[in-house]
Amino acid sequence: MTISILQKSSIGTIGNPANVCCVQFSPSSTNLLAFGSSDYNVYCYDLRHTKIPWCTLAGHGKAVSYVKFLDSETLVSASTDNTLKLWDLNKASSTGLSSGACSLTFGGHTNIKNFIGLSALDGYIACGSETNEVYCYYRSLPMPITSHKFGCVDPVSGNEIADSIGQFVSSVCWQRKSNMVVAANSSGNMKVLQMV
């Protein structure tokens, strides 16, 4: 299949009754797509059959802001309900809601209002926090394995100061095949961090 952005029409349409907050293709299947929605669910679609979801993952208490595949059978989602959830797609059902597919809920970061970023690599999961911190989890542990607090930069001196009220880490990204993650906060500061 050849796709061009110059096409006059799309090759398919997926309808969702609520706002879509994020979309992620599976890295191991060209036909699998997952997205997070403001109706608190994660939807997975087989692009060969887009009339109904392949599965609907239910368990968050607020909007799902991010989804990322950890591997071909595992998905992680972030929500403004203060949690990340790990989903086992082998336990998902094609009929009804698949709340039993949640294999682990991660907690420790703060996320009730803003989209804080989510990145995953080799079982490690990084996310931001509304406490102006970056948190790192491992796929089998419900609590963070480490965190890093951003300081606030004084606009006059350029020095880092402790006061960061109202700031939050808004974006995170693992560098492929490394132990480095870049994180950015709501005041425009970026940090390259290395997990040792």
What pLDDT is recorded for position 2? 55
- Distance (Å, rounded) from C-alpha 9 to C-alpha 99? 36
Give yes or no: residues 153 and 92 share one domain.
Answer: no
Number of domains in the chain: 2
Per-residue pLDDT of 174-194, as tens digits, reads 998 889 999 999 988 899 999
Q: Which among 63, 89, 106 is the end of a domain?
A: 106
CATH number at residue 174: 2.40.10
Kindly state the average pLDDT of the residues 164-182: 89
Enclosing domain of residue 78? 18-106
Q: Which residue has the higher pLDDT, 155 or 55?
A: 55
Give yes or no: residues 124 and 173 share one domain.
Answer: yes
Give yes or no: residues 119 and 178 share one domain.
Answer: yes
What pLDDT is recorded for position 4? 63
With a cut of 80, say whether residue 41 has pLDDT above it. yes
Give yes or no: residues 112 and 99 share one domain.
Answer: no
Give the CA dihedral 150, 155, 161, 163, nearest 10 degrees: -80
Across the chain, mean pLDDT equals: 90
What pLDDT is recorded for position 155? 65
Give yes or no: residues 97 and 112 share one domain.
Answer: no
Give yes or no: residues 101 and 114 share one domain.
Answer: no
Distances 16 to 32, 87, 144 between C-alpha atoms, Å: 16, 21, 33
What pLDDT is recorded for position 11? 77
- pTM, entire model: 0.89
Kindly state the average pLDDT of the residues 6-34: 89
Per-residue pLDDT of 102-154, as tens digits, reads 999 999 999 999 999 999 999 999 999 999 999 999 999 999 999 999 876 66
Q: Report if residue 25 sits inside a domain.
A: yes
Give yes or no: residues 48 and 114 share one domain.
Answer: no
